[in-house]
Structure 1
Amino acid sequence: MKRMHEMPFGASVLPDSHVRFRLWAPAAELVELCLEKHPGENSVVPMTRLDDGWFQLELTPAQASPGMLYRYRIDGGLNVPDPASRANPQDVHGPSRIVDAAAFEWQDRNWHGRPWHSAVIYEMHVGCFTREGSFTAAIQHLDYLAALGVSAIELMPVADFPGRRNWGYDGVLPFAPDSSYGTPDELKTLIQAAHVKGLMVLLDVVYNHFGPDGNYLHAYAPQFFSERHHTPWGAAINFDGEGSRVVRDFFIHNALYWLEEYHFDGLRLDAVHAIVDDTRPDILKELAAAIHAGPGRTRQVHLVLENDANAARYLQQGAITAQWNDDIHHALHILLTGERDGYYADYADQPTRHLARCLAEGFAFQGEPSLFRAGRQRGESSRHLSPGAFINFSQTHDQVGNRAYGERIALLAQPEPLQVALAVLLLAPSPPMLFMGEEFAAATPFQFFCDFQGDLANAVTEGRRREFAGFREFADGAARARIPDPNDPLTFERSKLDWESLGAPQHKAWLEHYRKLLGLRRDHVVPRLPGTGAGAEFELVGVSGLTVRWRLGDGSGLTLLANLGGVAVEGALHFAGAPLYLSQPDLPAILASGRIPAWSAAWFIEEAIP
């Protein structure tokens, strides 16, 4: 089976084997194609100027063929890669490669995705997931992930970034898988292999900025950017000004490209709160509509947001499937570690209440003022949304990697409290997400790393250290100087998972805990979730206790009673049904006496009344 996404830019191999090149360069007078037919042998061919800033050239199979390298020459001087390059084997400043997407023979014709209610997500950085750090090497662990209870892999961004190592959020060629991980066909092979194992594959994409090194769009298409709007990375991407139609199409086609040409099962859109767009419908709604009118018509495709604004309106119509719920992480992190610096300050007053509200209603902040944001109101009401709209987690690349030393929660929290917290997260109706390695309490950190050069490298290193100046631990300059250098190759090497550690008893024990909880979720919770609506209720018990009750889609009741503190709490406790999970065997009798022991959790399922 062949899969190719047709788009109005880039190099496309046509059905008659001709190759068509198209570039939008409204600021250029002349664009030439520089084609490398053989190493060291280049031909330069002028492209035809069309209307509205477009340049085009079509070559015969004798003139151009898959595998050849090419660049665009702007106004006789600057050589640039194709911004819609399907492959850039010599990094972001090098030439692009002609790729015949139809040459890959797909074998997963019968794969139509999986329903969202079954989602258990595993966030993965391809470069750190294995020692080899490649698409091909990741295939070795697919059986392990399926046995763990994972149903979806989420790849951190793979779009071509500068250098050999990066988190992926500095990508500048959004259609080209980074060559440090492998070829386009090797990425397709990974996705196909995951489908064989019953695993969805989601991709993290970045539509709020381009990275600081290797982006040439300013030189020939400055209309890609807007001086009317600004972001933490500078001028915003132009989604609502003059020329924005082409810009919007560029990113919409990028989303469709990954879903159609690579058969991804969904996308996670990074930091959409940093996308500024005054158009109606805005780019998020237009993109979602295009996806559902395209690949979403014939299979299950899921769109996930990261949105610090807690804008519940994007989740209401079902076009956007779900959002990462940072609120639940922050509340839980305070309960487990006591840390209250930075954004944790917003949750320090009533962390148990914030946690309970997240479990029952989605967001903790639904329009309340945020101390961390200088008193500005944050969020919109979310209690009318189903639990499936919120992805819960105790770790992500952000929450681990944005710590100065990249420590994981298993190194910051005591084992018993963490086990209880995981029972709360992994059995709740909302889809849970794991960050690679957390299931065996990986001792390796996940640190912030990149591979910049010169002044940019120095600026990133110093900027990273300045970020922590407001934290008590790093108030001293000498302490900040010990923060790992993002550009040091060792920072990247330290962040790779150590799979050999799985042989150690403590790591085996954690893995078994995760497998047990995810097995309970698969067998007893997931089958009841279809049709689950809003309307969960929560109550607080003492300082650190909580109860939450859901009515699931099959009419059954799911009840959580938990104490996330070091002292027992007492109150009028109401629960019914059969125990699903008990953190200690005698818990039902203790709960019946009106007491929830310190650091404990109990789940009960009450069957629907016929």
Structure 2
Amino acid sequence: MNRHYSMPFGAELQTDGRVRFRLWAPALTRLSLALEGPGEEQLLEMEPRAGGWFELTSAAARAGSRYRFVAPDGQRVPDPAARFNPEDVHGPSEVIDPTAFCWEDADWHGRPWQEAVIYELHVGAFSPSGTFDGVRERLDHLAALGVTALELMPVADFPGARNWGYDGVLPFAPDSRYGRPEALKRLVQAAHQHGLMVLLDVVYNHFGPEGNYLHTYAPTFFTHRHTTPWGAAINFDGEHSQAVRRFFIDNALYWLEEFNLDGLRLDAVHAIYDDGQPDILIELAEAVRAGPARERPRHLVLENDDNATRYLAREAQHPHWYTAQWNDDCHHALHTLLTGESQGYYADYAQYPIRLLVRCLSEGFAFQGEPSPYRGGAARGEPSAGLPSTAFVNFLQNHDQIGNRALGERITQLASPRAVRAAHILLLLAPAPPLLFMGEEWDSQTPFPFFCDFGAELAGAVRDGRRREFAHFPEFSAPGARERIPDPNDAATFALAQLDWSELTHPIHAGALALHRELLALRRQIIAPRLPARTRRSERLAEHALRIEWQLTDGALLGLLANLGQAGVALADTPGGELLYASEAGLEELLQRSELPGWSVVWLFAPTGA
């Protein structure tokens, strides 16, 4: 079976063997194509078309040909829609024949979202080889763990040898450090054969600071009417924006169709500005729902600091646009309880962490329109209690919450083992789909600091800016203390982030892995088939304790008692239901005496009709 998404731009192989090249360059009056493959270089004039487009169909190119576009002043630029750029972002693009890969997963029909247990990983840091093939070699581990979906951090071509992925500049091209496009296809196919979905993190709010040539020939791709943390915003709603909108919509469809992915996670959509109707998020989601999502489940997940629940609207429990959103509120409340931290955005959660955690677990977001002190008192969020539990992805760690710390420490360096264990038991059995960050399943000690590989001039600015970012934290207020913050461009910083798989030979880490496997097996057998859940009761029992009860789709009841503090708590009554899981031995007897010790979690289950 072959899969090919026919793009209206870039390099497309034709049925007669020729290649059609097409680029939107409204700032240019002339444009040439340089074929730079082995042998004598060819420079071919492209034909201007209406609306700022240039086009050429040539028999001189074939699969494997390398090419760049040439402006009248001689500047050469890669194809922004290249399927592959083998010599990094400044080099030539390569013509790819997507039909050359033979897919063998025709019997894969996806998985419903209520089964989602997500495993986020960075391709370069996950395995010793740092490649798509390296991830593929570890699929047995992930399938045995009990996760059901891999979420790859962005793989779009970025400058240099290492990057988190959020500085990509060629959104259609898998980065060559990870492997050729067919290597990513092999990974997706193998994941499906293991029963695993594959989601890809995509960045539609900005381009990275190095290797973005769009300003040269298409300055109207950006607008100064809106600004972002990265500068001028992408032009989704101004003059000439239609070509820009299609670029990103086609990107989403390309990844889903040509790479047979099961979904996308859209990064920081609160930094996407669009005053049009429908906005780009709605138009993109409708294109996916009308296209690849018609044949099997495709899941669209948002990161959105605005907590805008309108994008998560349901029709008969089915997502109208987006399937779910990362729930930072849940993380922040839980992190504050485990660590006592109250700096930065944790200040919004420090006063009432358990109350806000209860709201997250029972209603979705903690902030549903209330003022956020961290944001200067601005109202944040929209009501979320009417949404199903499956609309929110909860986590104790992810790439941001680890890597945005100065030293990239994991939660295991910040909280006690007992506290971390309690948090995992709480999240992995709660109705909302849980997300694990790579290595979390064995309580990895490997940090995940921010890393990149920019050119010399930009590298120094990134290093200094990173250290200034933490100057207001007491522990980094002295200039000498800031020198401890790893230089993102130093190859040693990336080496720190690479997972240490040998940790699994240690009994403590092996025990953590066994716990995660046990909990996820329970989730798969008892909870997932009965989702989504509807909250029946939720309350704060004490300063650090809570009680929640959900009704599942078959009428069964799922109950949670959790004490996320050191001191024990006396219960007013003994909850009903059979013991599903307890964080430690002897808890059932203590419950009969209406006692809940510190850092303990109890899950109860009452089958239908009980």
Which band: TM-score by shorter chain?
over 0.9
Please say if 1:277 is aligned against 2:274: yes
Segments of 5+ residues of structure 1 without an aligned counterpart are none
Residue in structure 1 matching 2:428, options 426, 429, 433: 426
Structure 2 residue aligned with 1:183: 180
Any idea what the Cα deviations from partners look like across 1:448-474, whole Å, max 9, x if unmatched? 000011221111000100111121111
Secondary structure of 1:588's aligned partner: helix
Partner of 1:568: 568
Letter in structure 2 aligned against 1:465 = R
**2:509 matched residue in structure 1:** 507
2:535–2:548 CA contact under 8 A, matched in 1: no
* Pick aligned residue for 1:459 from 450, 458, 461: 461
Equivalent residue number for residue 582 of structure 1: 582
The equivalent of 1:23 in structure 2 is 23
Residue number among 474, 477, 480 corresponding to 1:475 in the alignment: 477
Whether 1:541 aligns to 2:548 is no
Is residue 2:589 matched to residue 1:592?
no
Cα distance in 1 between the residues matched to 2:132 and 2:328? 28
SS in 2 for 1:439: helix
Q: 1:43 aligns to what?
A: 42
**Matched residues in 1 for 2:113 and 2:88: separation?**
36
Aligned length: 605
Does 428-437 or 316-325 show the bigger shift? Answer: 316-325
Determine the structure 2 residue equivalent to 1:139.
Answer: 136
What CA distance in whole angstroms lies between the structure 2 residues aligned with 1:217 and 1:211? Answer: 11
Q: Which residue of 2 aligns with 1:305?
A: 302
Please give the secondary structure, in 1, of the residue aligned with 2:387: coil
Matches within 5 A, 1:291-370: 291-317=288-314, 318=319, 319-370=321-372
Which secondary structure state, in structure 1, belongs to the residue aligned with residue 358 of structure 2?
helix
* Residues 113 and 368 (structure 1), Cα distance of their counterparts in 2 relative to 1, 3 Å cut: same
Larger deviation: 536-545 or 270-279? 536-545
- 1:255 correspondence with 2:252: yes
Q: Please say if residues 263 and 298 of structure 2, whose CA atoms lie closer than 8 Å, have aligned partners that are also in contact.
A: yes
CA deviations on 1:554-584 (whole Å, 9 max, x unpaired) are: 1111010110000112242452211110122
* SS class of match (2:242): helix
Inter-partner Cα distance in structure 2 for 1:383 and 1:583 = 28
The answer to whether the aligner puts 1:77 opposite 2:74 as a matched pair is yes
Aligned equivalent of 1:228, options 225, 230, 242 = 225
1:33 matched residue in structure 2 = 33
Supply the distance in 2 between the matched residues of 1:18 and 1:107 (Cα, whole angstroms): 27
Secondary structure at 1:355 match in 2? helix
What amino acid is the match of 1:567?
A
Q: Which letter maps to 1:501?
A: E
Alignment match of 2:191 (pick from 186, 190, 194): 194
Task: Give 1:528 shift.
Answer: 1.3
Which consecutive unaligned segments of at least 5 residues does structure 2 have? none
Rounded Cα–Cα distance in structure 1 between residues aligned with 2:607 and 2:483: 58
Equivalent residue, structure 2, for 1:379: 381
Measured after TM superposition, the shift of residue 533 of structure 1 is 5.0
In the TM superposition, what whole-angstrom CA distance separates every residue of 1:278-298 from its partner, at most 9, and x where no partner exists?
011110010000001000000
Could you tell me the TM-score, scaled by structure 1's length?
Answer: 0.98
Post-superposition shift, 1:536? 4.2
| CA distance in structure 2 between the aligned counterparts of 1:214 and 1:434, rounded to whole angstroms | 32
* Deviation digits for residues 323-376 of structure 1 (CA, Å, limit 9, x no counterpart): 000111111111111111111010000111111111000001111111110111
> Which of 134, 144, 152 pairs up with 1:155?
152
Amino acid at match of 1:269: L
2: CA distance, partners of 1:528 / 1:574:
25
Residue in structure 2 matched with residue 519 of structure 1 by the alignment: 521
Q: Does 1:238 align with 2:235?
A: yes
CA RMSD of aligned residues (A): 1.1
The amino acid that maps onto 2:544 is S
Counterpart contact for 1:171–1:211, Cα < 8 Å: yes
Tell me if the contact between 1:342 and 1:471 (Cα under 8 Å) persists in the aligned partners.
no
Report how far residue 607 of structure 1 moved.
1.2
Are the aligned partners of 1:383 and 1:535 in contact in 2 as well (CA < 8 Å)? no
1:237-275 CA-partner distances (Å, limit 9, x unpaired): 000000111000000000000000000100000000000
Q: Deviations over 1:131-151 (max 9, x none)?
A: 110001111110110000010
Distance 1:132 1:535 in 2: 45
The residue type paired with residue 125 of structure 2 is: C
Counterparts of 1:605 and 1:16 in 2: how far apart (Å)? 63
Match of 1:435 in 2: 437
Asked if structure 1 preserves the Cα contact closer than 8 Å seen for 2:534 and 2:552, the reply is: no
Structure-2 change in CA distance of 1:563 and 1:170 (3 Å): same
